[in-house]
Chain A
Amino acid sequence: KQEVTQIPAALSVPEGENLVLNCSFTDSAIYNLQWFRQDPGKGLTSLLLIQSSQREQTSGRLNASLDKSSGRSTLYIAASQPGDSATYLCAGQGISGTYKYIFGTGTRLKVLA
């Protein structure tokens, strides 16, 4: 059974800090990896998609990397802001030869003003 784990489960940081969220998966046979954020009571907002041929993606203050050989992805958030407070989820697609997304357990981030 494929599993996606996110560390840490929760994180509280002061505004302005740079931070790294980690995602690990047990099967490197994935097509792509996508990072999402979820605000309380809301759906998921797509942040970054790293396609199968890519190792990194950047959008504004966000940078995500993917290392299939080690089964790891990281999401780097630069100069964190209170508006970044949310739950961050990673999802691997194509794990175990299917197109379904397998989601991690999430990291709850709180950025203090």
Chain B
Amino acid sequence: GAGVSQSPSNKVTEKGKDVELRCDPISGHTALYWYRQSLGQGLEFLIYFQGNSAPDKSGLPSDRFSAERTGGSVSTLTIQRTQQEDSAVYLCASSAQAGNTEAFFGQGTRLTVV
């Protein structure tokens, strides 16, 4: 595709349910990043992939959060047993390689936990 694609664009879920957020990076981009932006807050780093491996997952807030990337392309961020504090916009970005190349962001998934 022409840009980074994220789905769904909006997700409302009940507290305690699991959710999956999907990111489709720009074709050929090897690096992929997940960020979270809470209302009125800055961007919080979650995890970074190089190919299928995640050299840095230091930003995942708890063990309820996990992410995977298969085939060096699509990535899925999974949040188990969602809590209200998980409500935020989840943003994905990709770049041609890690380090020194331009990063491009998707439009984000707005997650609301009720």
Contact = CB atoms under 8 A, between A and B. Distances in A.
Contacts of A43: 91, 105-108
Interface stretch (B11-19, B69-77, B94-102): B94-102
Nearest to B46: A100
A31 B107 contact: no
Interface string A60-77: 000000000000000000
Given A43-B106, A43-B108, A44-B105, A103 B100 contact: no
Interface in B38-55: 42-43, 45, 48, 50, 55
B98 to A, nearest CB: 4
Contact of B55 (A36, A49, A93, A99): A99
Interface in A4-59: 31-32, 34, 36, 42-46, 49, 51-52
Contacts of A93: 99-100, 103
A104 B55 contact: no
B33 A44 contact: no
A104 B41 CA distance: 11
Given A43-B91, A43-B108, A44-B91, A103 B103 contact: no
A94 B99 contact: yes
B103 A101 contact: yes
B68 interface: no
B61 interface: no
Contact of B56 (A36, A52, A91, A98): A98
A98 B91 CA distance: 19
Contact of A100 (B59, B101, B104, B107): B59
Contacts of A103: 35, 42-43
Interface of A: 31-32, 34, 36, 42-46, 49, 51-52, 89, 91, 93-94, 98-106
